[in-house]
Amino acid sequence: MLLTVLGVVFVALGVAIGWYGLRRLAVVPRVLRSDVVDPDAVTDEDSFVVCRGIATESTEGLSAPFTGSPCLGVEFEVTEKQPFGITLPWVQAHLDDGVATRPFTLDGPNGSVNVRPSPKRFGLDTESTVITVGADETPPDRIRQFVDVREELEPVADWIRILPGFGTRRYVERRIDPGEEYLVAGPTERRQGEVALNGNLVVTDRSPRRFATERLRDAVFPLSVGLIFIGVGLFGIVT
């Protein structure tokens, strides 16, 4: 009976972990099937469009939390190197994350289109800026100020600090930088007489093929872990 219950728990965990890996792949086939168009070619008749252009500020911009760089959107996360177990001696434990975005304009050679990413489902497939701070190092002023106002970020625990090589924190930042070229993919919508890319959008500084490759690579680990959990769970159920 106990093995059956544990098996069901493991299967449920495996499905959840696998779904986490799969959900970011759902948009990949649509991006690969679509032709990349200039901003002036976007119409509200397109249910899904892939557009490339230069990101330009159309409202008040943002300041990135770790670098202070001016940006139009930012995604950040904080992880800490912690001991895990025998088979996996360490892991980058998640401590905090967040997003912020503003509407912006995507400019092309013959026109532009408004872009309004959803702040609720916002993520960036762009190059990461990573600032690493050791357990006994003093963080840069901007990161220290960020940590001071984030209740989720406690100081490195003493038991981790005393372990050689552990307690190092990674402050990861992905941005939409004004003046840089991006590929934006997603649904279109007409508002106040203007067409815009709106909602749950893909924003990347990569080609469609490289975007797909990176998402597939990121999905390998959670899918593998999910399959292992499901396999262990099914073994417990049938034995």
DSSP string across 123-192? -EESPEEEEEE-TTSPPPHHHHHHHHH-TT-PPPPHHHHTSTT---EEEEEEEE-TT-EEEEEE-EEEET
pLDDT score for 30: 92
Distance of CA 152 to the CA centre of its chain: 19
Using pLDDT thresholds of 50, 70 and 90, give the confidence band for residue 227.
confident
Pairwise CA distance, residues 30 & 47, whole Å = 11
Average pLDDT over every residue of 96-114: 92
Q: Which residue has the tokens 């168009």?
A: 37
Polymer length of the chain: 239
The predicted pLDDT at position 89 comes to: 55
Residue scoring higher pLDDT (179 or 194): 179
> Looking at the predicted structure, is the pLDDT value of residue 64 above 90?
yes
- Rounded-to-10 torsion of CA 117, 103, 46, 174: -50
Is pLDDT of 32 > 80? yes
Instruction: Look at residue 76 in the predicted model and tell me its pLDDT.
Output: 94
Mean pLDDT throughout 168-192?
A: 93
pTM, two decimals, is: 0.84
pLDDT at 88 over 80: no
Residue ranges covered by each domain of the chain: 36-207
Per-residue pLDDT, 87: 44
Least confident of 21-25, 32-36, 126-130: 21-25
Checking if the pLDDT of 234 tops 60, the result is yes
pLDDT of residue 124: 92
Predicted local distance difference test score (pLDDT) of residue 238: 78
